[in-house]
Amino acid sequence: MKFLAILRDSILETIDFKIFYVMIALSLFLCLVLGLFTFPRHQPLQALENNLAAFEVSQVETLEHGWFSPYARYQCLLQASAAKPMGSAMQRAIQDYDREQLQAELAMRGQFEEMRSIELKLPAPPPEPKSAEDWRRLVDRYLASIPGITDANILSYEEGGGQPRIIRAELGVNWGEIQHAHDFSFLFGVYRTSMGEFPLGQLVSILQSLLVGWIAGWVGIIVSVIVTGGFIPNMLRKGTIDLLLVKPISRPALLFYKYLGGLSFVFFNVAVFVGGTWLVFGLTTNFWSPWYLTSALVLVFFFAILYALSTLVGVLTRSTLASILVTIGCWVGLWVIGIVYSLCHPAEVQASMMPFLKDIPTPIVKVVDAIHFILPKTNDLKVLNEALLLQASGSERALRQQEQVLKNFSWTETISTSAAFIALMLGLASWRFAPRDY
pLDDT given at position 420: 93
Contact yes or no for 234/262 (Cβ under 8 A): no
pLDDT given at position 233: 86
Residues of the chain with confidence (pLDDT) below 50? 67, 83, 85-98, 109-123, 125, 349, 351
Phi-psi sector, 196: left (phi>0), alpha (psi -120 to 50), beta: left
Contact yes or no for 286/38 (Cβ under 8 A): no
pLDDT given at position 86: 44
pLDDT given at position 303: 93
C-alpha distances (whole Å) from 330 to each of 225, 308, 324, 327, 420 are: 12, 12, 10, 5, 16
pLDDT given at position 123: 46
pLDDT given at position 330: 92
User: What are 338-356's pLDDT values in tens digits?
Assistant: 888 877 776 554 545 555 5
Domain boundaries, the chain: 2-38+198-433, 44-87+123-181
Mean pLDDT of the chain: 76
pTM reported for the whole predicted model? 0.75
pLDDT given at position 423: 94
What is the helix, strand, coil percentage profile of the chain, to 5?
Answer: 65, 10, 25
pLDDT given at position 326: 93
H-type alpha helices, 229-374: 231-235, 240-245, 251-285, 290-317, 320-344, 348-353, 362-374
Closest-CA residue to 205 (of 163, 229, 176): 176
Which amino acid does the sequence have at 413? E
C-alpha distances (whole Å) from 103 to each of 85, 89, 99, 197, 389 are: 21, 20, 6, 29, 46
CATH tag for 44-87+123-181 (out of 1.10.3470, 3.30.980, 1.10.357, 1.10.150): 3.30.980
pLDDT given at position 260: 85
Q: How many residues does the chain have?
A: 438
